[in-house]
Amino acid sequence: MAASSLGSGLLNHDGDNPSLRRGSSAGCMSMFKSRFVWLASAAIAIVTTKYLLAGEINYPLHLLLIHSLILTLIWFIHNVDKNAGEYCLAAPEATTAILRMAYHLSMCASFILAYLSIYHFSSLPVAMFVLTLDWQPATLLSRIRLNQLGTTDLLRYALFACGLTFIFVNDYRLHPSVQNVALAFLAVIGCAELSLYLLQNPEMLSQGLARRPFSPLSKVLPTCLLIPIGVLAFQTEYWRPTVWIPLAPTGIVLAINVISTTVAVMSGGFLLRPVKLTELSTICEPTKPHTDSILLSVALTGVVSLASSLTLDQPAVLSTWQFLGYIIATLAFVTTNDLDELMICTGFSDPKNERRDDFSTKFVNDSAIELLPFDDDQDQDALAQTSGSRRSTLGLLILGGLSWLAFVRIWYNVAPPSPDASNTSLDQAFHPRADFDIVVARYDEPSTDIAQNLNLLLQAPRFQTLQSRIHFYNKNLDTTTFADDIEDLMNGLANISVTPSENIGRESEAYLHHIVSTWDDLAAHTLFMQAEPHDFKLARNQMEQYLLPETGFMPLAYEGAFCRDCNHCHDHSWSENPAVLSALYSNANSGAPCKDLVLTYRGQFVASAARIRGNEKAMYEGLLEQLRNPNSSMHSASYTPSEWNSDQVDSMNAPTFGFTLERLWGVLMQCSDLRLAYWTPSMLGAYVRPSWLNGAFPAEDLQCLDRPIGV
């Protein structure tokens, strides 16, 4: 029970106060209302955080710094004249110091990982599915120590793991780094819970105990300031040299975000878990802290999912199996007692008899908390608490249920736009003489590795019947040696040519040179790649499954980056002059205004001859000249150094403009639309997704087509 256990450390109250142990009517009624305050503020904070990170501010640690600074100042002002946070915990002094440090660092790391997860998950609902899960590490530790871990407990954890796997494996934008960050969040939030649980239960450690004060927020918030600064100090490329504080309307969203985040953390202790409120639930309603935590987390997930679907420029692209995984993982630790407590709190069961027995001694987080029995003078307060609890619980059920119903309805009706190539300029009159070309930009990569990758590709059934050619553009001085080696290693699977090339312009220069020099001899489809491709096994799988005669442009390393227009187009490590972007877009798209830019990465993609030749040869010649000519505007002092990286030094072999071309191959090939932006899966997602669960992705989701399939 991470929420209830964590909450006790963030809560400022005197553990020896009997009235607080029982819970006063006024205090508990205020707590019931605070649930909805936290729920609303946390939902607004999470949705606006995603909006900012996906839009103008691609810097999660920077946003965390803003939040941490403001929260630290508010906390200090609020507590400067108070002895706040003096929550006494009993433990040996040396052990206490270690556990406190573990708690502080774990909570701080959980803040950082939460922001990174919200940023990296393409779908905010999927992020919420994972980040709000509670795997109850304190309960697990307690059962292990007491030798009470049974088959039922193991089954619960197996179900939890199964549900989490369903969420991950069926994520269409599956990426190891994203899932690893989410798993790390679950791990560190569990470490924070375990640290606090051991502090609160010193009998788990040893005898000879001393009481010590503990004030977590006073150290967690400042630590959240220091750690991101330390990280950024070693990653200076993420500090933008220009002033990046956004203007309206993003500035308004930032203000709303800061206010809502402050309210959520101050009222609930954390954005994703109502840690303070579930601890208050332990005091006011000792029978249902776990039930309360589940209700709040599920309601928050539903509200955030609905709000993100209505406000964010991102459709809810989820699998039915991800919903099932979330349900399984959430219900894995729900017991019959939790269901009974829910029935009591909603008024469907009479708690009178059970309440007097249960309130004498009740285990919360497996730790006995003495509670003074009710007497006749307290009946009125008890009735008021019961009434408030019922209204609060019913309100959570209604709000969460309606949010989930509305979200599922929106999700069910979401459909990708139909592919449309009617406005695309294509050279349908050109008749290529070869089926498939591979263009490889090479510097010093070993010929054995290159040959191994290409042999595996050309030996695949889809490519065995094609007339294939391989064009190497060698930017090293070993052209003759490399040509002899690669010829011997390729097993005669394709016609090979090796062209010496000056080491300038990165891979973009080789690609443009090939297009210009073989304009009238382009193959029906050309794979452009570097000699050391990124995740080539996944790229090969994608081509084997989805490369069609109708393929126009297929990116082979799509990361979901998308810009609505040229004036606000950048990612976490790149931006470009809007005038340059507008000119490139207009030249490649028949003078159309710049909009809906789908960014490509890694310099690997497949393009058809019809699509390449859909634009004038002069466009490619102009781009090639910009890379090759040291006196061109893209090598001028007015263009470099780039605004997005003050440390970037423009050179002929690594031009700054080359990073822009890497991201704009889709734009240059007239393949930049909403379907590709929102529905294209990651290469790993296309590779891992079990066909027996969902079937393959539609081919239209991974590429732009020159014509409808089968026509």
Residues 450, 393 share a domain: no
3-state secondary structure 62-77: HHHHHHHHHHHHHHHH
Residues 531, 393 share a domain: no
Residues 402, 502 share a domain: no
Task: Report phi then psi at 563, rounded to 5.
Answer: -120, 135
Rounded mean pLDDT of 99-119? 85
Query: Which residue is it, tokens 């990124």?
Result: 534
Structural domain for 628, as ranges = 436-705
**Cβ contacts of 607 within 8 Å, gap of 6 or more:** 525, 526, 528, 552, 553, 554, 665, 669
In the chain, how many domains are there? Answer: 2
pTM: 0.82
At 13 the pLDDT is: 36
Residues 461, 394 share a domain: no
> What residue type is 469 in one-letter code?
R
Residues 618, 582 share a domain: yes
Rounded mean pLDDT of 36-50? 92
| Residue 16 banded pLDDT, cuts 50, 70, 90 | very low
d(CA 20, CA 356): 18
**Cβ contacts of 535 within 8 Å, gap of 6 or more:** 557, 683, 684
d(CA 573, CA 415): 31
pLDDT, one tens digit per residue, over 580-628 is 999 999 999 988 888 888 899 889 999 999 999 999 999 999 999 999 9
Mean pLDDT of the chain: 79
Residues 58, 157 share a domain: yes
Residue 57, in any domain of the structure = yes
Are 454 and 470 contacting, i.e. CB atoms less than 8 angstroms apart? yes
Identify the H or E element spanning 571: strand 570-571
Residues 466, 333 share a domain: no
Residue 539, in any domain of the structure = yes
Residue 621, in any domain of the structure = yes
d(CA 477, CA 471): 17
Residue 711, in any domain of the structure = no
pLDDT, one tens digit per residue, over 337-375 is 777 776 766 656 655 544 443 333 333 444 333 334 444
Residue 421, in any domain of the structure = no
Residues 643, 533 share a domain: yes
Residue 426, in any domain of the structure = no
Please say which residue of 348, 378, 413 terminates a domain. 413
Residue 419, in any domain of the structure = no
Residues 485, 373 share a domain: no
**Cβ contacts of 64 within 8 Å, gap of 6 or more:** 111, 112, 115, 224, 228
Residues 400, 360 share a domain: yes
Residue 18, in any domain of the structure = no
Residues 402, 349 share a domain: yes
pLDDT, one tens digit per residue, over 618-660 is 999 999 999 999 888 888 877 764 555 555 677 888 888 888 9
Residues 458, 386 share a domain: no
